[in-house]
Amino acid sequence: MYFFDAARGRRRRVRVGDLLDHVRSSKLDLLGKAYRDGSNRARGLVERLRHHPDELAPDAVVEGRVRAQLGRVV
């Protein structure tokens, strides 16, 4: 038996245990990052919807915004 070898079995078992600990830790880190990312995106969406103006901007304001953006590009 590979893991029950008297000479090197304990070393092999420890290495497998260390590998499993590393994989578990990596997956938990990844899940934590994904949770934080989703939470931040949801919070941003809520804030954007909450502070979105109910009325449209007048044409003169829109025209000024377009000119400002085009002026930066050109």
Task: Evaluate whether residue 2 is within a structural domain.
Answer: no
Distance CA 66, CA 60 (A): 10
Domain hosting 21: range is: 9-73
The predicted pLDDT at position 2 comes to 78
Residue 1 clears pLDDT 70, i.e. is over it: no
Distance CA 32, CA 41 (A): 14
Task: Evaluate whether residue 1 is within a structural domain.
Answer: no
Task: Evaluate whether residue 66 is within a structural domain.
Answer: yes
The predicted pLDDT at position 51 comes to 85
- Put simply, whether the predicted model's pTM sits higher than 0.85 gets the answer no
Give the chain's domain count.
Answer: 1
Task: Evaluate whether residue 65 is within a structural domain.
Answer: yes
What Rg value do the Cα atoms of the chain yield, rounded? 28
Would you give the distance in Å from CA 23 to the centre of its chain? 19
* SS3 of residue 16 by DSSP: helix
Task: Evaluate whether residue 4 is within a structural domain.
Answer: no
